[in-house]
Amino acid sequence: MRLFNCRKIKDRATGIKSAARAVTGGRLVVIPTDTVYGIGCDAFNHAAVKALLAAKGRGRDMAPPVLVGSKRALDGIASDVPDSAKELIEAFWPGPLTVVVPYTPTLTWDLGDTDGTVAVRMPLHPLAIELLKETGPMAVSSANKTGQPPAETAADAKAQLGSDVSVYLEAGPSEDNLPSTIVDCVAHPPQLLREGALTLEQIRKIVPDTLDRDGYGPGQRPEDQEPDEAPEADEADASETAEATDEAPAEERPA
């Protein structure tokens, strides 16, 4: 288990090489991203993915997302990418957007119970991109135990994950300690699964019909609806009331 201070040029180069070897060897690493620090491994190594889930204290029902080092890399793992995903990727990659898309059926990976889909992101962090270009797609989840706060530094992650991780790459505190925003682009229309660094409003500027987490489209939430106007009184009834009032003795008329 080693921690490399990648803010130093020499340690950065050595750290990336060490992390790449660890990933290739089926071990776990902690890396910085443009959102929170992540714990990652080779996405195609079944034992490594299982170890990642165990380190976090998660089951197969919480499959980790996959990080890629370029937009082009998506073509190698996803098939029939929906237009909504393409539009969002064009607007927000690299960056804090994770899209859920169908994965290529011939892939020999096992990320967990994903029902034929994969959550994919291209991070906007030079160190992460450099490592991903060495390793290929990595299964990466936030570098913390489930239920604990996200790690703001590699040292924070080490305090939680310890010897479960072989290599820690330290790049200083996260600039934005918010997770990525997740949009399910397999759904029709697409649906926000988690609002993180990108807001629903920002997503809807690109794909206007995106549903919110509760399944409501734009303007469909109950609080967005205008109250019904009170029905107008029937003219005949109003006239009869007026006549009755005029004919009533003064002491019986309403005040």
The length of the chain in residues reads 255
CB-based contact 21:32 (threshold 8 Å): no
pLDDT at 95: 96
- pLDDT exceeds cutoff 50 at 23: yes
List pLDDT tens digits, range 111-146: 999 989 999 999 999 999 999 999 999 999 999 999
List pLDDT tens digits, range 1-18: 999 999 999 899 999 999
Token reading at 165: 């991780």
Confidence of residue 176 (pLDDT cuts 50, 70, 90): confident
Q: State pTM to two decimals.
A: 0.85
pLDDT at 228: 60
pLDDT at 232: 54
pLDDT at 246: 52
Residue 135's closest CA among 200, 45, 232?
45
Confidence of residue 248 (pLDDT cuts 50, 70, 90): very low
Mean pLDDT of the chain: 90
List pLDDT tens digits, range 41-81: 999 999 999 999 999 999 999 999 999 999 999 999 998 89
pLDDT at 225: 78
